[in-house]
Structure 1
Amino acid sequence: MKFKMRTLLLIPFFALLLFTSCQDEVIDITPPDESEALVADSELTSFISSTSAKDGSADNIIDKASCLSVELPVTVVVNGLEIIVDSEDDFDVIETILKEFDDDEDNLEMVFPITIILSDYTEIVLNNREELEVLIAECGDENEEDDDIECIDFQYPISFSIYDTDFRVIDVIEIENDRALHKFIKRVKNAEVFASLDFPVTMVLADGTEIVVNNNEELESTIREAKDACDEDDDNDYGDDDFTKERLDEYLQICPWVVYEFERNNQDNTAEYKEYALNFKEDGVVVMRAREGDILTGTWSTRVTDRGALLKLEFDNLADFTLEWIVYDIEYGVIKLYEVGGNRIIMKKNCDVVIDITKERIESYLQECLWRVARLNVNGADNEKDYIGTPLKFYENNVVKIRVNGELVEGTYEIGVRNTGFILQITLEGRPDLQLEWLITFLESGLIKLENVNNQMILKRHCEGVDEDVNYINDVILSSVWDVALYEDGDVNKTENYFGYTIDFLDSGRIKVTDPNDGTIVGSWLAYRNEGLFLGMLFEDVEPFYALTHRWQIKEITQNRIELKDYNANGEIERILVLEQVEL
């Protein structure tokens, strides 16, 4: 995905406008193009409304209606078994019970009262089955054409500029989800607000492909082309199992599939088979790459029966996979298989994974770009923090260099072959955590996973100069000297600890911090993309700056201000760091 950070800065730009409107300084502003304002009754406005509408098809197995959803948790009784459904994962359990026997009479009842959510996010409490049936009847039959668009989505957050009647910006609002967007567009359609969408905006297709649009015309065209380009799965079962043999065969052969969950005879074997990769070939041959790099060959075939679509796998030396599996769910990029008796496989599509690993291919990948140490666990301790901003570079002739504080430390590496598979041996003075013999367990063009008895390491590729947004971030960071304008750790404001310090980011990857007494603190930095844009900073163990050692997510960036945030595992903000340009 590529998007222009300059345009993304509309939010801080307008916020700055509003803040300074009461100041004496006059700022020249080029207003947005009036033609980009949303028209209440336009096709684009309708497209946005339909794209953000609530999709009710995910829970059709319990309510048999694609225009409404049942609010979870809800209690259902399936063939006499009471189940509390508190997440969509429980739909798998219901499907398994319903399909366990071919000759039984299936029955599912909900325990009332329940709350249902309509496509416009209206919530209604229902007290009995009769009230639910009235609403179901209004939804129409299975797979009937409806108003919601499910084949494309907005990537949030997005923002809108609000105008007065003279087309002056009076507010900027940020939208975080479909619900908020649908309600906001309803106000636009009712002519309650006059607004335009702040571009660029990233749209996500059903298969995960991301498309960046830069204006209303591109957005309207993109939604129009995508809105009917997938199966909305509006049938009244769970998952997408209403496919033909031809469609299933074609889908299996698109790309390799990687195992993410595996259960056999009620035994969870995920740890043993996770990241095994399967490549389904046209001639009925399936090639499997084990996590250690071993290649196994078997056969595959499909057929469609009254039980649904079946995938038969046969391996001479891998009994756990050898079974005729029911394909009980196909999501975009995910296939779920099961068979009665506690057998289950979840596989995810990965077009980049390498099935046939060779020494030459490993060397070629390593030498293409820099590599970040994204994870390093040694003897149970997470040590990746020590490698923030210090990428590795692998060269020909077995030379490897690590960039520390802007200086290259040289060592050696070797690709070898053991009985267990291919190994990467690194030798770097002063880096004992890396000086291990690593077994290569997973390889794709941008990712390498390594492990040995008690240790795991993940390397992620970082190619310099190819990402427009990272290039822009680098240009901004290198163009100025910075100070800490704000540092909040939880509810505690610690900004005063950094008064008088200046931060200089050097092109070599070195950070130079000058303290009020002309002392110097050094460190390393690297801006990169990883499902978002990040600034990694590693400072030597000197306070107060060592506390800022972290992979910070970049939330806003302008020529004179950088806002960074640290999130916990629940997506909550733990720390905020703001750097501002020093006036020299």
Structure 2
Amino acid sequence: MKKFINLSFSSLLLAGALFLGSCQEEFEDINTSDAQGESIQATSATAIKIEKTASKDGSFDNIVDGASCIALNFPYTVEVNGLEIIIDSKEDLRLIEEIFDEFDDDDDDLQIRFPITITFSDYSEVTINSNEELAELARQCVEGGDDDDIECIDFVYPITLFSFDVNQQQTGRVTVNSDRELRLFFKELDDDDFVSIEYPITLKRFDGTEIRVSSNAELAAALEAAEDACDEDDDDDYNDDDFDEDRLENLLTECPWVVLSVERNAIDQTAQYEAYLMTFTEDGKVRVRDRQGNILIGDWDLDSDDGYVELDLQFDTLVDFSLEWKVYEIEQGKIKLFSGDGNRITMKLNCDGGTADPDTLREILGECNWIIKKVKNQGEEIQRLLGFEFDFMAEGVVTLSDASSTIQGSWEVAVGSEGGLVLAITMGDEPGVSFEWPLRDLAQNRLRFEVEEIGYELVLERVCTSNETDGDVVEIMNTLMAGDWVVAQYSDDGNDETAGYNGYDFTFGMENALTVSTNMDPVKNGTWRVIRDSDGHLEVYLNLGDEGDVFSELTDDWDVVSITETRLEMKDISGDGTQDILVFERK
């Protein structure tokens, strides 16, 4: 079964299948209660992955020790550029980076006051008395994310474990409440010991989403899928400041940037350029809007040099920005650039749309089509419009379509009375979207418009032809269109309502057409879509209207949890924390 953690669908599905096939022989049935699962031998691949997931990650203090496989025990004292600092917690490490970042062209120095105590990945400890001893241990670490620990998924505690000897006699029962307790439990096992886990248990992925597993096979698949699913930040750059050209390009084009400060040839030019707005487009153009609304167009490009990523800016008139800038920090929505002595720019990400220029919004709207994720009218959400597709065309023409119909209207972008941008849509045959929508959040892949005081909101997700090359999206679409499906489970906030769908077949057809039938007789038509949203999550949009019948209960944008050729599991977590579960199985 595939678990979605922003990986390629086909590669993850193949890896999961191979892994599960290789692991089945490790699971031996034991005569235990139903609450306990199959046994895991202490030396099995699954047990090793559990240990790796529970291992102590030492990368959080790499700015001090330069070693991801060890961590310094608090408290300890360091001297940073001559300033003595007592490190009592992870938060204090931030002080070191702030001192390092104060000047771009100085030589930073950090000295540790010995002796110190360090903890290894298996939670064993040792006292270190010199830099030489620490450096020798650091050389033994594997860096760059290639070490053994699994950091992209965590166990949610408590977890109850049962231990068995080679004769399958239970030798103990323990409830662990932390990674340390779990790792030490496995460390004390003999090679011929077995362990059983009391299921279900919960794991939390690196992106904050949770997954519940109910067997050893599901646990093995989840840990395998998470092994290389995120940046483990195993380097010396504390607080995840590391980045490459791809990450920087995605960040630059995500939203416009507001200039906070400029220094040119050691002269502060902030007063001249503060609040300028820079918009980077994927075609290598950068548009700068000054405080008077004038637009200057330039070019931008990225390159790597001597460990830095360089941002090359070239303008005909904006000469103070025309340099090859080294990017030395990305943090909390800010980016800092420098070039030689005395040339610095600091910018802040601006996704609220308040200072964007109309041309930026027009270009973003016109680049691709846009799917309605949410629309509210006077506080009431209009479910019947979920998944409808806008096509903003030239000459102010816009169409709105679902699987069965297309209607036409007009659109324009203007500066509103409060100075922000407004998208005015006139769609005579669909009053639910006919409104002057003030822009609140602007990004390349997501737009949000809102008038909070009167309960109007419109959220759009971008859908481009490039989605057709997204392997995950294509694979899910092809799987769903391969046959008829039935509802195997529908849980509404814990209430099992599956029985209401007995006898109904769901057909996912071409052109986003969704048909519900019984005994081959259609009873309800709707729309379906598969997209990867702006957060990278794979979603299946189902729209079966909002008439209040049993089928309209399924109208929602569902997050994909797992999929095989014969089973699709999805969930939806609402704003109040309630969770719905929908499972389709191939007929």
> Which bin holds the TM-score, normalised by the shorter protein?
0.5 to 0.7
Query: Which one of 491, 510, 515 corresponds to residue 513 of structure 2?
Result: 510
Q: Deviations over 1:94-132 (max 9, x none)?
A: 43367769999999889x998x553xx31246xxxxx55
Query: Which residue of the partner structure matches residue 388 of structure 1?
Result: 386
1:510–1:298: structure 2 CA closer, same or farther, 3 Å change rule? Answer: closer
Checking the alignment, whether the CA contact within 8 Å between 1:276 and 1:290 is kept in structure 2 is: no
- Cα distance in 1, alignment partners of residues 555 and 480 from structure 2: 17
Query: Which residue of the partner structure matches residue 140 of structure 1?
Result: 135
1:423–1:569: structure 2 CA closer, same or farther, 3 Å change rule? Answer: closer
Give secondary structure in 2 for the equivalent of 1:473. helix
Query: Which residue of the partner structure matches residue 538 of structure 1?
Result: 543
- Cα distance in 2, alignment partners of residues 262 and 363 from structure 1: 24
- Cα distance in 2, alignment partners of residues 573 and 135 from structure 1: 54
Counterpart AA for 1:556: S
Query: Which residue of the partner structure matches residue 462 of structure 2?
Result: 460
- Cα distance in 1, alignment partners of residues 53 and 240 from structure 2: 20
1:536–1:544: structure 2 CA closer, same or farther, 3 Å change rule? Answer: same
Give the CA deviation at 1:447.
2.7
Counterpart AA for 1:562: L
Checking the alignment, whether the CA contact within 8 Å between 2:52 and 2:150 is kept in structure 1 is: no
Query: Which residue of the partner structure matches residue 559 of structure 2?
Result: 553
Q: How does 1:204-353 map to 2 (within 5 A)?
A: 233-234=235-236, 276-277=278-279, 288-289=288-289, 295=295, 329=329, 335-336=335-336
Query: Which one of 486, 490, 504 corresponds to residue 489 of structure 2?
Result: 486
Query: Which one of 405, 409, 412 corresponds to residue 406 of structure 2?
Result: 409
Query: Which residue of the partner structure matches residue 60 of structure 1?
Result: 62
Checking the alignment, whether the CA contact within 8 Å between 2:373 and 2:459 is kept in structure 1 is: yes
Query: Which one of 526, 529, 539 corresponds to residue 523 of structure 1?
Result: 526
Counterpart AA for 1:428: M
- Cα distance in 2, alignment partners of residues 355 and 289 from structure 1: 7
Q: Deviations over 1:195-235 (max 9, x none)?
A: xxxxxxxxxxxxxxxxxxxxxxxxxxxx9xxxxxx997438
Checking the alignment, whether the CA contact within 8 Å between 1:276 and 1:291 is kept in structure 2 is: no
Checking the alignment, whether the CA contact within 8 Å between 1:535 and 1:552 is kept in structure 2 is: yes
Query: Which one of 575, 579, 584 corresponds to residue 580 of structure 2?
Result: 575
Give secondary structure in 1 for the equivalent of 2:428. coil
Checking the alignment, whether the CA contact within 8 Å between 2:505 and 2:518 is kept in structure 1 is: yes
- Cα distance in 2, alignment partners of residues 400 and 6 from structure 1: 39
Checking the alignment, whether the CA contact within 8 Å between 1:566 and 1:574 is kept in structure 2 is: yes
1:519–1:76: structure 2 CA closer, same or farther, 3 Å change rule? Answer: farther
Q: Deviations over 1:217-274 (max 9, x none)?
A: xxxxxx9xxxxxx997438x87779x9xxx99xx99996685679989xxxxxxx979
1:155–1:413: structure 2 CA closer, same or farther, 3 Å change rule? Answer: farther
Q: Deviations over 1:135-172 (max 9, x none)?
A: 96544179968533338999978xxxxxxxxxxxxxxx
- Cα distance in 2, alignment partners of residues 68 and 488 from structure 1: 45
Give secondary structure in 2 for the equivalent of 1:407. coil
Checking the alignment, whether the CA contact within 8 Å between 1:402 and 1:409 is kept in structure 2 is: yes
Give secondary structure in 2 for the equivalent of 1:147. coil
- Cα distance in 1, alignment partners of residues 507 and 461 from structure 2: 27
Give the CA deviation at 1:578.
1.2
Give the CA deviation at 1:481.
2.7
Q: Deviations over 1:513-544 (max 9, x none)?
A: 34799893443211222324321112233233
Checking the alignment, whether the CA contact within 8 Å between 1:143 and 1:233 is kept in structure 2 is: no
Counterpart AA for 2:408: G
Give the CA deviation at 1:549.
2.0
Query: Which residue of the partner structure matches residue 149 of structure 1?
Result: 144
Give secondary structure in 2 for the equivalent of 1:123. coil
Give secondary structure in 2 for the equivalent of 1:140. helix
Checking the alignment, whether the CA contact within 8 Å between 1:488 and 1:575 is kept in structure 2 is: yes
Checking the alignment, whether the CA contact within 8 Å between 1:503 and 1:512 is kept in structure 2 is: yes
Counterpart AA for 1:447: N
Give the CA deviation at 1:396.
5.9
Query: Which residue of the partner structure matches residue 566 of structure 1?
Result: 572
Query: Which residue of the partner structure matches residue 96 of structure 1?
Result: 98
Checking the alignment, whether the CA contact within 8 Å between 1:68 and 1:117 is kept in structure 2 is: yes
1:507–1:95: structure 2 CA closer, same or farther, 3 Å change rule? Answer: same
Query: Which residue of the partner structure matches residue 268 of structure 1?
Result: none
Give the CA deviation at 1:576.
2.4
1:335–1:141: structure 2 CA closer, same or farther, 3 Å change rule? Answer: farther
Query: Which residue of the partner structure matches residue 373 of structure 1?
Result: 372
Query: Which residue of the partner structure matches residue 207 of structure 1?
Result: none
Give secondary structure in 1 for the equivalent of 2:581. strand
Consecutive unaligned residues in structure 2, runs of 5 or more: 1-6, 30-43, 45-50, 154-178, 195-227, 262-273, 301-307, 339-344, 351-355
- Cα distance in 1, alignment partners of residues 458 and 511 from structure 2: 29
1:298–1:411: structure 2 CA closer, same or farther, 3 Å change rule? Answer: closer
Counterpart AA for 1:549: T
Query: Which residue of the partner structure matches residue 426 of structure 1?
Result: 425
1:334–1:459: structure 2 CA closer, same or farther, 3 Å change rule? Answer: same
Give secondary structure in 1 for the equivalent of 2:488. strand
- Cα distance in 2, alignment partners of residues 345 and 142 from structure 1: 39
Counterpart AA for 1:95: E
Checking the alignment, whether the CA contact within 8 Å between 1:291 and 1:442 is kept in structure 2 is: no
Checking the alignment, whether the CA contact within 8 Å between 2:58 and 2:69 is kept in structure 1 is: yes
Query: Which residue of the partner structure matches residue 436 of structure 1?
Result: 435
RMSD between superposed Cα atoms in Å: 7.0
Give secondary structure in 1 for the equivalent of 2:405. strand
Query: Which residue of the partner structure matches residue 10 of structure 1?
Result: 17
Checking the alignment, whether the CA contact within 8 Å between 1:363 and 1:415 is kept in structure 2 is: no
Query: Which residue of the partner structure matches residue 447 of structure 1?
Result: 445
1:64–1:261: structure 2 CA closer, same or farther, 3 Å change rule? Answer: farther
Counterpart AA for 1:389: G
1:68–1:377: structure 2 CA closer, same or farther, 3 Å change rule? Answer: farther
Give the CA deviation at 1:61.
3.8
- Cα distance in 2, alignment partners of residues 374 and 274 from structure 1: 31
1:389–1:295: structure 2 CA closer, same or farther, 3 Å change rule? Answer: same
- Cα distance in 2, alignment partners of residues 104 and 9 from structure 1: 45
Give secondary structure in 1 for the equivalent of 2:128. helix
1:474 aligned to 2:480? no
1:547–1:257: structure 2 CA closer, same or farther, 3 Å change rule? Answer: closer
Query: Which one of 398, 401, 405 corresponds to residue 400 of structure 1?
Result: 398
- Cα distance in 2, alignment partners of residues 292 and 375 from structure 1: 34
Give me the identity figure in percent.
26
TM-score using structure 2 length: 0.52
